[in-house]
């Protein structure tokens, strides 16, 4: 079996699982959000890998070029990146508010304070 044929997908899965691991094991809220970013980016890589055509170039029409990569996933991911950062910003704003209220951004300490109420 040719390793190069599926390497992109496997690394995307590896990155996705690393992000997943960061989200579920680490209690620090900022680190959780960064883990979530790893997760999203892995999806971007998967989509862009699917769009690649061997021997193709960027989908900008130019004379003398016959093969282009698939432009549709590019469009989907382009907007997803900007939407991703906007939603991350909402997450970070919530982290700031949690810090105001609890004085910490560690999940277990927040839970302790909740229980002691």
Please list every residue from 34 through 63 that binds another protein, using CB under 8 A: 34-35, 37-38, 41, 44-45, 48-62
According to the binding rule CB under 8 A, does residue 104 interact with another protein? yes
**Three-class SS state of 105:** coil
According to the binding rule CB under 8 A, does residue 26 interact with another protein? yes
Q: Which of 96, 101, 112, 113 forms a contact with another protein (CB under 8 A)?
A: 96
Closest CB to another protein among residues 100, 117? 100
Neighbours of 19 (CB within 10 A): 21
**Cα–Cα distances in Å, from 54 out to 43, 47, 48?**
21, 15, 13
Among residue numbers 66 through 85, which ones bind another protein (CB under 8 A)?
67-79, 81-85
Give the whole-angstrom CA distance, residue 46 versus residue 73. Answer: 10
């Amino acid at each position: 079996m040719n390793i190069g044929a599926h390497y992109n997908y496997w690394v995307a899965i590896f990155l996705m699982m690393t992000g997943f691991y960061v989200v579920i094991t680490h209690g620090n809220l900022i680190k959780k959000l960064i883990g979530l970013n790893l997760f999203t980016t892995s999806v971007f890589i998967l989509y862009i890998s699917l769009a690649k055509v061997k021997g193709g170039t960027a989908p900008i029409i130019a004379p003398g070029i016959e093969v282009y990569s698939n432009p549709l996933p590019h469009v989907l991911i382009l907007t997803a990146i900007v939407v991703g950062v906007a939603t991350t910003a909402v997450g970070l704003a919530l982290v700031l508010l949690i810090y105001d209220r609890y004085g910490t951004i560690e999940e277990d300490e927040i839970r302790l304070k909740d229980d002691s109420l």
